[in-house]
Amino acid sequence: MRLKHTLTRLATLFFLATASILGHAQEPQCKKTVYLSFDTGNMSVAQMVADILNRQNIKATFFLANEKTSRGDFALDDSWKSYWQDRVREGHHFGSHTFDHLYFVKDVRQFYH
């Protein structure tokens, strides 16, 4: 549990630093595009990510998988419907990260047997 908490904090700090750098660039010195993509993960920082993206006017691509969240439900359950609808209205993009990761276990067993 400590490792999970530490990794979540590190990811949050990295994201905050990146958003801060992008949001405070006053002069358009670089015209290159920065691509942000997010794996749904356990969704524990989902609202914070959305708030930062909105505040900094940054668009991202979210890669969705039906993974178990920190609330005990799943990222694609109806309980998250309004969250995802809000991201659509904000102009973010979405990609598939697979429905779940169960097939990897099956593939590995077939490969090694």
Task: Tell how far CA 7 is from the center of its chain.
Answer: 14
Tell me, yes or no, whether 85 lies in a domain: yes
Task: Provide the domain count of the chain.
Answer: 1
Query: Does residue 37 contact residue 97 with C-beta atoms inside 8 Å?
Result: no
Tell me, yes or no, whether 72 lies in a domain: yes
pLDDT tens-digit map of 22-51:
555 555 677 778 777 767 678 888 999 999
Mean pLDDT of the 16-25 span: 56
| Residue labelled with tokens 């993960």 | 41
In this prediction the pTM is 0.60
**Residue 67 to residues 21, 43, 72, 77, Cα–Cα distance (Å):** 30, 9, 10, 10
Lowest mean pLDDT among 8-12, 36-40, 89-93, 103-107: 103-107
Tell me, yes or no, whether 96 lies in a domain: yes
The domain of 49 spans 34-112
- Quote the CA–CA distance of 89 and 113 in Å, as a whole number: 47
Supply the CATH number for residue 69's domain: 3.20.20.370
Tell me, yes or no, whether 21 lies in a domain: no
Tell me, yes or no, whether 11 lies in a domain: no
pLDDT tens-digit map of 56-88:
888 888 888 888 899 999 998 999 999 999 999
Highest mean pLDDT among 1-10, 64-73, 102-111: 64-73
Q: What is the pLDDT of residue 78?
A: 96
Tell me, yes or no, whether 8 lies in a domain: no
Write the DSSP string, the chain: -HHHHHHHHHHHHHHHHHHHHHHT--S---------EEE-TT-TTHHHHHHHHHHHT---EEEE---B-TTSSBTTSGGGHHHHHHHHHTT-EEEE--S-SHHHHHHHHHHH-
